[in-house]
Amino acid sequence: MKIDNTLAAVVTGGASGLGRASAQALADAGVKVAVFDISEEAGVAFAREIGGVFCNVNIMDEDSVEAGFARAREAHGQERIVVHCAVVAGGGKTVSFDKKTGAYKRTATEQIARSAEGIFTASYRVASIAALGMANADPLNDDGERGAIILTSSAAAQDGQVGQVAYAGGKGAVNAMVLPMARDLMDLGIRVNAIMPGTFATPPMLHVKEQAPEVFEGLGKAVPFPRRLGKPEEFGSLVMELARNTYFNGQCIRLDGAIRMPPR
């Protein structure tokens, strides 16, 4: 796919972290970017900064996502690139000891279901709405390509740690969805890939740096090479390559400095 100012993109979770870096990389290449986020103040300011449009979107709500795509398309035309970074997730060990009651307890099914909705179902929601729009657009090149969908999984999908049943399970489901979705959309010329980031210097991690610098330093040293957390712009760089390189399809790619997460 030729990346230039004739293309439009949608980035969910685009007001901060990996989403912001992805939106910035696309905008730097001339792409018209719609920033989907629930953080309106930050989203409006950033969208203005990159010459894009902000859409207040809650990925847990079908109507909200539909409205966001409608607004983005009204402003920029049919998106050809979608990067889904937004997530809603919870955590908790399957069974843990409650010091208050002196008894064991389990993580509630409802909490697991909420994570499944906020990771797997939301990923399907965003990807399928985008794909429907792309399916009705003209091909972009001789390959018949109509668009690229890039989902955000996690290294936790393969190396889930203690307390990550909900998160790792949701991200594993995203991985499992990529190939069949790519096959569903192959006759339409729509590609589907996922990035599995390791430990990145996103706002939650930078908060750890402020509150517990020794823990933050240890996180960086746990990465084989380079011995640091990933930079959001490195995620954005891979987003650009997945969009640009038409032969990337049906892939789940780790971006993690060769880290393999320990149990804790």
Summarize pLDDT for 212-230 with one digit per residue, the tens.
788 778 888 899 999 999 9
**pLDDT confidence of residue 214:** 80
Catalytic residue annotation: 167
From the list 11, 12, 18, the residue with the least C-alpha distance to 203 is 18
Cα dihedral angle (10, 16, 21, 25), rounded to 10 degrees?
40
| Total domains in the fold of the chain | 1
> For the purposes of burial, counting CB atoms within 10 Å of the CB of 10, is it exposed (0-12), middle (13-18) or buried (19 or more)?
buried
Q: Is residue 117 part of a domain?
A: yes
**pLDDT confidence of residue 231:** 96
Q: If DSSP codes are grouped into helix, strand and coil, which group holds residue 86?
A: coil
Q: Is residue 218 part of a domain?
A: no
pTM of the model: 0.95
Q: Is residue 206 part of a domain?
A: no
**pLDDT confidence of residue 219:** 84
CB atoms within 10 A of CB 108: 11
Q: Is residue 168 part of a domain?
A: yes
**pLDDT confidence of residue 36:** 98
Q: Is residue 215 part of a domain?
A: no
| CATH number, residue 25 | 3.40.50.720
Q: DSSP state, 42?
A: H
Q: Judge if the upstream peptide bond of residue 226 is cis by omega within 30 degrees of 0.
A: yes
Task: Please give the chain's pLDDT, 264 residues, in tens.
Answer: 999 999 999 999 999 999 999 999 999 999 999 999 999 999 999 999 999 999 999 999 999 999 999 999 999 999 999 999 999 998 899 999 999 999 999 999 999 999 999 999 999 999 999 999 999 999 999 999 999 999 999 999 999 999 999 999 999 999 999 999 999 999 999 999 999 999 998 887 777 777 778 877 888 889 999 999 999 999 999 999 999 999 999 999 999 999 998 888
Question: Which positions ≥6 away from 213 have C-beta within 8 Å?
Answer: none
Q: Is residue 141 part of a domain?
A: yes
- Pairwise CA distance, residues 23 & 48, whole Å: 12
- Pairwise CA distance, residues 216 & 219, whole Å: 5
φ and ψ at residue 32, rounded to 5 degrees:
-85, 120
CB atoms within 10 A of CB 262: 9
Helix 122-135 with 62-76: angle, nearest 10 deg = 40
Question: Which positions ≥6 away from 53 have C-beta within 8 Å?
Answer: 32, 33, 34, 35, 47, 71, 72, 75, 76
Q: Is residue 17 part of a domain?
A: yes
Q: Is residue 188 part of a domain?
A: yes
Q: Structural domain of residue 128, as residue ranges?
A: 8-200+232-255
**pLDDT confidence of residue 112:** 95
